[in-house]
Structure 1
């Protein structure tokens, strides 16, 4: 573990954020720091944050959530709250490494929290933990079973993480947990494998399904995390804006041609493209389009007390307009 900057704030009672150099992590650190006056904010990531991107009232540390040395960091800093964002989202990497970061990394963070007397652990799971299945309820609610998918490491890992969180909370009830299950997160700067699907000249859909997308704005995710830090209400909450957008509607909003084809030909096409190393996605990815989890957000509003600012359509339009600005 290496320290890049020490903030001029109290050593104890602070907030530690793992995965702090990621898409959500950077903005969360900035928002926490903006109104901070007397508690330490610790930003931890495998990637070192360059000097010109560091904030003056944040302690930047470089480290791996799988590293046993993380325990020493927790013992010295003694954070009151930990926001665990570190995860691997991209498809097609090293499944074993992804599992180690997601599952073993979370286990290590849990042990560090217990040993250091952390009071509140906030974890970002995913709506993918429900799994991609034809018989998924619509919408999915927090008490519906988590099934993941054996052939989709991200969904499988998130299910395993949540099962582990339940086991640890039973053993260590003094460590409160808040778990968020976000759907697809979009912001003006989002650029990933999902947005690549939206940006192709021809958006490929599947006949027999509308491919509904639950969407949440990146700013809404950050606001929900900040609220969880400042006004804790432990529990498990889906994180989604109101409504859904079908893949056809997304294509229309993005001024793209939409073509729906049967699942069989699409599976063959993905097999061929994967064989030619044009894409990392194989035939199993068809269920990712075919059986999208649609998330209910009633509990988020009524029990956690948070209403997303943007609905699904507004979230996509905000992403689309931001992309257009970047291109010009």
Structure 2
């Protein structure tokens, strides 16, 4: 009989926190990653594996977990598109195949709000029934959409493998450093003229708590946006941290990114302007009423907690 919880991406920011929380429970915990965990949790069995390698199928079959929580994915835009595709799409395909081969009964996956795409006509807020339109010219967004298509096909073909799919918004917590937080760190917060650019935000503690709940036998399968209540615009964020806000014309920023990308000064290109201009705002009603998890921190509270935890400059 299958037993235990396997976490892919166990050495990542969310993965390490989730493994630590799960290890306090009664089930065996397996941590799988291509990297070694910087702070291994006593009692957790760690395995080094690359989800891009189909050998993953045999490894999971030997461990026979009850649940797989799939966190191994690309978390930043603007990388190597082919490598990112291999990790996100091919890797997730291997995870699904491994679950089916090992008799896993539940698969928990972190997708992304980026799967909805960055479009001027996006609903505000977006609900789980809105179409997934991950932008073709934005690999990060396109790959998240393709991952969800793959998961939908697996749900139709293999209903015995329950799925809990989370679509997180921007995740903030102490120590987080990425392309989003880089916007806040500059002396001037740069936004886009004519766009409020509201950010849905969620605390990493709420992400970990929701994932741990999803791994429990009694939780409900389904698809859930994962976001704290409310939003913050870049102008509001600038005000909270006492920095000037500079809205640039979108055409100007596209030109700057095109030029900088040609000079290999940044991996980002003009298409990434949509990333700021048309932020997906996520409704969390289904998370609270359908899944039964109410985020502890609002968007504003998650941001303030992240900002207070930064090292003094």
- TM-score range (shorter-chain normalised) is over 0.9
Deviations, residues 182-205 of structure 1 (Å, cap 9, x unaligned): 000000111111100111111111
Higher alpha-carbon deviation: 137-146 or 252-261 = 252-261
Structure 2 distance, partners of 1:60, 1:167, is 30
1:84 matched to 2:74: no
Q: Contact 2:192–2:248 (CA<8 Å) still a contact in 1?
A: yes
The one of 83, 89, 95 aligned to 1:97: 83
Structure 2 distance, partners of 1:49, 1:208, is 44
CA RMSD across the alignment: 1.2
Structure 2 distance, partners of 1:278, 1:202, is 20
Shift of 1:56: 1.6
The one of 29, 37, 55 aligned to 1:49: 37
| Matched residue count | 312
The one of 285, 305, 311 aligned to 1:318: 305
Tell me the SS of whatever aligns to 1:245: coil
Shift of 1:273: 2.2
Shift of 1:90: 1.9
Q: Contact 1:12–1:40 (CA<8 Å) still a contact in 2?
A: no
1:244 matched to 2:234: no
The one of 244, 261, 264 aligned to 2:251: 264
Shift of 1:278: 2.5
Counterparts of 1:2-17 in structure 2, within 5 Å, are: 12-17=2-7
Structure 2 distance, partners of 1:92, 1:205, is 19
The one of 14, 27, 34 aligned to 2:17: 27
Shift of 1:232: 2.2
Shift of 1:276: 2.9
Q: TM-score, normalised by structure 2?
A: 0.97
Structure 1 distance, partners of 2:278, 2:190, is 15
The one of 289, 292, 299 aligned to 1:302: 289
Shift of 1:12: 4.3
More strand as a share of residues: 1
> What residue is the counterpart of 2:99 in the other structure?
113
Counterparts of 1:1-328 in structure 2, within 5 Å, are: 12-34=2-24, 36-37=25-26, 39-50=27-38, 53-230=39-216, 231-323=218-310, 326-327=311-312
Q: Contact 2:258–2:269 (CA<8 Å) still a contact in 1?
A: yes
Q: Contact 1:212–1:246 (CA<8 Å) still a contact in 2?
A: yes
Q: TM-score, normalised by structure 1?
A: 0.93
Structure 2 distance, partners of 1:277, 1:154, is 19
Q: Contact 2:30–2:45 (CA<8 Å) still a contact in 1?
A: yes
Q: Contact 2:202–2:226 (CA<8 Å) still a contact in 1?
A: yes
Runs of 4+ in 1 over 4 A off after TM superposition: none
Structure 1 distance, partners of 2:163, 2:289, is 18
